[in-house]
Structures are given as structure tokens and as C-alpha cells.
Structure 1
Amino acid sequence: MTDLAAITQKIASAVGENSGLGKRIKLDFGDDGKILIDAANVPNVVSNDDGPADTTVVVSLDNLIALKQGQLDPMMAFMSGKLKVLGDMGIAQKLIPLLKG
């Protein structure tokens, strides 16, 4: 699972129709693209659109994969600048289980 389409599909499956997040979250991979999770409405929608979000997580695709595989600790990634959160940190923390799934 190394390309954006596969990651988007996996996240969409993990989010389902109602993730309970209640917000819009964007994963920003820079030049590799974006994933927008619109969990403000039910059913939740996951797309590769770029739009406004309550929280944006900026991370490289390689680091996202390392997080998913347990090779990179989310807190260490944040503290070392490999992962940046713009907006509500609480929402970003709720997203972690969905990314690991």
C-alpha cells in the first residue's frame, strides 16, 4: 500500500459511514497529494479533494506508511517535525486508530 489511491481506499474503509469524528480532516502529503475526510456529515466521505478542514495533518507518504506499519511512533513523529498538526490536536489524535487499521 504505497500509492495515494490505495491509502485513500484503506482510509475510506476504516472511516466507514460514520466515524464519529464529526469534523473535516485533511491529510496533506505535499506534492504527493491530499486526502480529505469529511466526517462532519453522515455518511462520511473520503476523497482526494483539497478543501477547507478543521484539522490538517501534514506528513509525507513515507512517514504515513511508517506510522501505519508501527515503525514510527506518532508522538515521536510530531516531536521531530515529521508530522505537523494544524488545527484541533484532539481530532488528529482520534484519527490515529483509523490510520493504523
Structure 2
Amino acid sequence: MSDVIETAVAALKDKMSGESFAGTAKFVIEGEGSVIVDGSDVRAGDDDADVTLTADADTFQSMMDGDTNPTAAYMSGKLSIDGDMGKAMQLASALA
């Protein structure tokens, strides 16, 4: 597992602490791999998910740091979403 994915898992676990997400989401970090959020569990993996969010490592890190709003990243084309848009919006709320 790459350092970027390990860092992403840790960042998502921290963000999701005390939160629960009703469904599954996959964050694909371009050139690095992917992270699965399943309920309150966060792990490296490439499972099928209700929604897949794809971004480069810098955009992902900026969202985890709170410097970039996921909606703004999507609207500017830095984040692509495939699948259940409602689940993407729920996840964005959980990460805020």
C-alpha cells in the first residue's frame, strides 16, 4: 500500500470519527489506489461501492485538510463522482 493511501485511510478515519455513513463509497486517488468508506469503517480497497469519487492526491488532501469543499471541487472539475449522487452528498456532510 502506498504512503498516500495509508495517509488517506488515516485522514478519513479521523474525519469519520463519531460519524456513520449509510452506504459504501470509494475514493480513487489517481495514480495511487483507492480507499473504501463502509458505514463507519475506512480501509484501503477497491470494492464495488454505491458511489465512487475520483480526485488527484493534492485535491484529496486539500479536502481532508478542510481547505477545499468537496462540492466546490466537484463543480470545478477537480473531483468526479460516479454513482449515487445522494450518497456523495451524505458523505460530504459527514466529512464537513
How many residues are matched?
94
User: Could you tell me whether the CA contact under 8 Å between 1:28 and 1:35 is conserved in 2?
Assistant: yes
Q: 4+ runs of 1 displaced by more than 4 Å?
A: none
Identity %: 27
Equivalent residue for 1:60, pick from 56, 64, 70? 56
Q: What residue ranges of structure 2 are gaps of 5+ in the alignment?
A: none
Q: Secondary structure at the match of 1:23?
A: strand
**Matching of residues 22-101 of structure 1 within 5 Å:** 22-39=22-39, 44-100=40-96
Unaligned runs of 5+ residues in structure 1 are none
Deviation at 1:25, TM superposition (A): 0.5
Whether the 8 Å contact between 2:19 and 2:94 is mirrored in structure 1 is no
Matched position secondary structure for 2:87:
helix
Mapped partners of 2:70, 2:12: distance in 1: 17
Q: As a proportion of its length, which structure holds more strand?
A: 2
Q: Deviations over 1:41-83 (max 9, x none)?
A: xxx3211110100000111110012223343333332122110
C-alpha displacement at 1:14, in angstroms? Answer: 3.3
Bigger mean CA deviation after superposition, 51-60 or 74-83: 74-83
Structure of higher CA gyration radius: 1
CA contact (8 A) 2:15 2:64 kept: no
TM-score (norm: length of structure 1):
0.75
> CA RMSD for the aligned pairs?
2.3
